[in-house]
Structure 1
Amino acid sequence: MERSERDRDPARNHSRSGPSRTAKRVAAFRAAESMLPQDLRVCYDPYAIRFIDPDRLDELTEYTDNHFPGLRNYVVARARHFDEVITLAAKTGLLQLVILGAGYDTRAYRIKEFTGRVRVFELDHPDTQQVKKEKIREIFGGLPEDVVYVPVDFETQDFGSLLLESGYSPEKKTLFVMEGVIMYLTPPAIDAILSFVVNNSGKNSAVLFDYPEETGDTDSSSREMREDLGKHTARHGEPILFSMPKEGPGAFLRARGFSRLRIVPGNDYRRLYFNRKKEGRELLTTSSFVYAVVGDR
């Protein structure tokens, strides 16, 4: 299952150990949002607070708001959009959900449409996943039977083989989710993931992910903040390694066997989730969400 040395990108920091700090910070953003009144919040995750130290919640959110304005609201808009897409899929024939880089994602435990219908596979770095499992045991008294945990390093291991060995069925309709993940992977790792999806999933299977755009239209302050964010995550062993090529996601995904793309750019998720009482909140809009279906084979 080990990939050869020549396939590894030397830019990747393989020395990272311990649970992901980015996963903890994202959980903090969801937790803070969930504490707002219903008419003010963008997303709701009642379990997010269990994955952080509540006494540090203000510290985590205030640091981000001061250094990376708009990022926290981007994360909660992404969580809301992914919740909506995944819930709709669960209502319309989805049989398997594969969450790559699952972090402290709690959808397997809070989306009621999964019950008795959808088998969930959570893939992540072993150190992060171990903490996740400990927290899930604390919350629910044990691990749910319909969730399969697959420890993996996407840069050095063949995730597809591990997934198949864990009971994944390549015949079933499956949604593969990469929320806040693709930018931390090298192009060879991304290609390996997309190739597996195309060649090992049932009819109408799809991918859902967000991606940073690489365009000349991005204003200088946004570019500068994104560079600062990359430096920040790199210091914790999670460098940003990918941005969508200039030809855009359509050409990128069609070349890899996908079709029927739905893209939600920044202006769209601002309109969808930050209207009325929420319209004055600062929002980072330099990334987009994309849903793409595996093309007919």
Structure 2
Amino acid sequence: MSASDDFRDYASAKEKIDAAPEFYAGYFYVNARTKYIDSVLRHAAESGSEQVVILGAGFDSRAYRLHDNYPTLRFFEVDLPAMTAVKKQRLRDARIQIPGQATLSSIDFETQALEDVLPAAGYNAAKKSLFILEGVSMYISEASSGTSLEFVHRHAASGSSIVYDYVLREILSEGRSRYYGMESNAETVAVHGEPYITGWTPAECTMSRMAVPVR
């Protein structure tokens, strides 16, 4: 039995997870988040959305995984120049062709606004769109998040929507000890050079969502 087969065995997998439960808590969270946002995208596409804008796209694979299901759905991926360059190289290395309906653009959320990037990439403000902000808001300043949300509010067609996740404001302080796995999680991202710098309260999140209505 190979190592990969061993991990597929429930008993062996459980043993590994039980040995480092806080680490795998983050792993399962990310999987659940991806599955949920995929379902939001499918619903949006089947409800008439023509564009998907992925902010802080990283290695997001939706434009490639879901292309056959929604071949006319236009994807816009925006991220830091260095990240965009790395992704393009990884796609070339894997011999994965960027679909004609996908556009990769560079942006620094701290110094640029979406108005500087998306229209030039072909984004059409008259078309119903879904905006995805996955695993991003906690790593950029509150002002930068606000600028992006304001763009959606002003430049998204009627019926457009946005889906995003965030960390609680108290996660940025000693309050994170109240939440399972957050101490190690916050330390891990900080060690990798991307500490949590922005958090919201549930009330603030609700207000932000109300400011970006599905019109």
Query: For this structure pair, what is the TM-score category when the shorter chain's length is used for normalisation?
Result: 0.7 to 0.9
Q: Which residue of 2 aligns with 1:287?
A: none
2:193 alignment partner, one of 220, 229, 237: 237
What CA deviation, in whole Å up to 9, does each residue of 1:15-52 have, x standing for no partner? xxxxxxxxxxxxxxxxx9xx969xx9xxxxxxxxxxxx
What CA deviation, in whole Å up to 9, does each residue of 1:191-220 have, x standing for no partner? 10000001011111111011123469x884
Distance 1:123 1:229, change over 3 A: same
Distance 1:248 1:191, change over 3 A: closer
Matches within 5 A, 1:247-286: 247-254=203-210, 257-259=211-213
Task: Tell which deviates more after alignment, 241-250 or 127-136.
Answer: 241-250
Identity %: 31
- TM-score of the aligned structures, taking structure 2 as reference length: 0.81
Contact 1:215 1:246 in 2 (8 A): no
1:222 alignment partner, one of 179, 184, 190: 179
Identify the structure with the greater helix proportion. Answer: 2
- Rounded to whole Å, the distance in 1 between the matches of 2:58 and 2:101 is 18
- TM-score of the aligned structures, taking structure 1 as reference length: 0.60
Letter paired with 1:222? Y
| C-alpha deviation, 1:125, in angstroms | 1.2
- Rounded to whole Å, the distance in 2 between the matches of 1:36 and 1:131 is 30
Question: How many residues are paired up?
Answer: 201
Contact 2:170 2:199 in 1 (8 A): no
Question: Gapped runs of 5+ residues in structure 2?
Answer: none
- Rounded to whole Å, the distance in 1 between the matches of 2:110 and 2:20 is 31
- Rounded to whole Å, the distance in 1 between the matches of 2:55 and 2:8 is 29
CA RMSD of aligned residues (A): 2.9
Contact 1:99 1:176 in 2 (8 A): yes
Distance 1:197 1:208, change over 3 A: same
Matches within 5 A, 1:59-138: 65=20, 68-111=23-66, 112-116=68-72, 118-138=73-93
1:157 aligns with 2:157: no
Question: Gapped runs of 5+ residues in structure 1?
Answer: 1-31, 41-57, 260-292
Query: After TM superposition, what 4+ stretches of structure 1 lie above 6 angstroms from structure 2?
Result: none
